[in-house]
Structure 1
Amino acid sequence: MTHYQKDTLFSQPQTEQKAFRFDEQVASVFPDMIERSVPSYQETLKGITELTKHFAQANSQLYDLGCSLGAATLAMRRAVEDKPCQIIAVDNSPAMLAKAQDYLSNYHSNHQVKFIEGDMLATPINNASVVVLNFTLQFISPNQRHSMLSRIYDGLNPGGLLIMSEKLVNTQPGIQTIIDEMHLQFKRDNGYSELEISQKRASLENVLISDSREIHLERLRKIGFRECDTWLQYFQFASFIAIK
């Protein structure tokens, strides 16, 4: 059984600010980090389960791209226990993928997940009925996002679904300032110090690059999705659905 620690990665002053990486240190505290940093994360996972139940097609493939510790993978697997589907979980971090495999092994299922250590930008998408990008597109270079989503669209079956969760930026500066402050207070209420908040923010600079809601929707429509919109939002954290 995997045991996860409390996130104290940024609790001490750092003489050299390093870019955020999904390494062994982050993997060991990731569940705590997510719960204390991302509002409505559990609701997002519940939604992934319900949406997968509705859209998963028999004898198709389901993808969790950038699966990290496998929380969305598990949500998808729970949704298709009665359907013959192949679930494929992809991540380029060996530390995260190893813990994802360990995590899912704690839950009995008739579905075996295929884990792939690799770049989701190079992962073939075929015969897909559901594809999940749960807070992962934001870590891909902005100039590669359109082609990434186009490949997903091409690999989806008609009626297939993309579920995409992202941290957004608001195009209205005054509203962005208000939302930022509310999110900061959320993290303070969850026990993060000002030092931890500022050092983590610095480590994510130029690593996590957010788009606006408008940019996301315009991109999805240009690619060809017939319907797309947000289905959940809390502060600047939103989840989209796009139907082929």
Structure 2
Amino acid sequence: MTDSPDRIYATPQAQVSDFAFNEDVVRVFPDMIKRSVPGYPTIVENLGVLAAQFAQPGSALYDLGCSLGAVTQAMRRHVRSEGCRVIGVDNSAAMVTRCHEYLHAQDSMFQELLPYELIEGDILALDFKPASVVALNFTLQFIEPERRLELLTRIRQSLLPGGALILSEKLRFEDEAEQALLTDLHIAFKRANGYSELEIAQKRSALENVMKPDSLQQHRERLLAAGFRQVTPWFQCLNFASLVALP
């Protein structure tokens, strides 16, 4: 199984379409996310470590917006609580198909992995089972802003006492100078990873209407409104961060 380099936006497009997790993106996704999201490998690996701290026997562990299953796999490798099952959910049929292939390949490389289930569907319509860990890894930013509180409230209601929500997102900053600085540094990160000015500009246009980042304060206030009692940032690299929210 091989992945292609991300060249989706390398040639000029007369009209840049809204970003979608289609076959073209799925084919290059591992390369795309590694070169676009600073700290991504660290976040993914440590999501497994964090999940092991909160996982409870016999409960579900959710990877919402699982894409190719990197977080699902991290949780499967790190969590040892008896009777747990990782449930990955994504609304992209192409992602789910390739995710099955990745996880099946991983099964031959690692022993004692947790069982998993993949669901192709809308996380907004998901019927949650009692869960001890829920991961939203760069997923909430693609949900309509007016429905984010609804989703987080349902997640909070599904979490068992002692469980946790782990939320990773691109951040927007209220201070204009801070926003400008971190935007420039993120662009520098992309340049350093081989993206051209054309690729950076066209990708930005593609995401403009479909990805709506929030500030850290907005995330905190929304999580508290959803019923979480503690919200703690555990990682930040440039304008990307991950939080742990406890019920």
Moved more, 11-20 or 75-84: 75-84
Q: Quick one: which amino acid aligns to residue 106 of structure 1?
A: A
Encode CA deviations 1:211-238: one digit per residue, 9 max, x unaligned.
0000000111122212112110011100
Does structure 1 conserve the Cα–Cα contact (< 8 Å) formed by 2:77 and 2:113? no
Q: Percent identity?
A: 48
Q: Of 124, 138, 151, which residue of structure 2 is paired with 1:148?
A: 151
Shift of 1:81: 4.2
Structure 1 residue 51 corresponds to structure 2 residue 50: yes
Q: Of 135, 140, 145, which residue of structure 1 is paired with 2:138?
A: 135
CA distance in 1, matches of 2:127, 2:77: 24
Residues 75-224 of structure 1: pairs in structure 2 closer than 5 A:
75-81=74-80, 83-108=82-107, 109-224=112-227
SS of the residue 1:87 aligns to: strand
Does structure 2 conserve the Cα–Cα contact (< 8 Å) formed by 1:65 and 1:90? yes
Does structure 2 conserve the Cα–Cα contact (< 8 Å) formed by 1:125 and 1:156? no
CA distance in 1, matches of 2:57, 2:14: 53
For structure 2, the residue ranges without an aligned partner over 5 or more in a row are: none
Structure 1 residues 194 and 98: alpha-carbon distance in aligned structure 2, compared to 1, 3 A threshold? same
For structure 1, the residue ranges without an aligned partner over 5 or more in a row are: none
Q: Of 233, 236, 240, which residue of structure 2 is paired with 1:233?
A: 236
Following superposition, which runs of at least 4 residues in structure 1 exceed 6 angstroms of deviation?
Answer: none
CA distance in 1, matches of 2:166, 2:127: 18
Encode CA deviations 1:86-114: one digit per residue, 9 max, x unaligned.
11110000001111110011122543311
Encode CA deviations 1:183-226: one digit per residue, 9 max, x unaligned.
10000000000000000000001100000000000111122212
Does structure 1 conserve the Cα–Cα contact (< 8 Å) formed by 2:60 and 2:133? yes
Q: Size of the alignment, in residue pairs?
A: 243
- Kindly report the root-mean-square deviation, in angstroms, between the aligned alpha carbons of the 2 structures: 0.9
Q: Quick one: which amino acid aligns to residue 211 of structure 1?
A: D
SS of the residue 2:128 aligns to: coil
CA distance in 2, matches of 1:51, 1:36: 24
Does structure 2 conserve the Cα–Cα contact (< 8 Å) formed by 1:10 and 1:195? yes
Shift of 1:123: 0.7
CA distance in 1, matches of 2:204, 2:82: 42
Encode CA deviations 1:158-187: one digit per residue, 9 max, x unaligned.
111000100010000011001011110000
CA distance in 1, matches of 2:43, 2:90: 19
Residues 27-66 of structure 1: pairs in structure 2 closer than 5 A:
27-66=26-65
CA distance in 2, matches of 1:102, 1:112: 15
CA distance in 2, matches of 1:24, 1:81: 34
Does structure 1 conserve the Cα–Cα contact (< 8 Å) formed by 2:171 and 2:216? yes
Moved more, 74-83 or 59-68: 74-83
- What is residue 9 of structure 1 aligned with on the other side? 8
Give TM-score scaled by structure 1 length.
Answer: 0.97
Q: Quick one: which amino acid aligns to residue 199 of structure 1?
A: Q
- What is residue 23 of structure 2 aligned with on the other side? 24
CA distance in 1, matches of 2:228, 2:78: 23
Encode CA deviations 1:135-160: one digit per residue, 9 max, x unaligned.
00000000000000000000000111
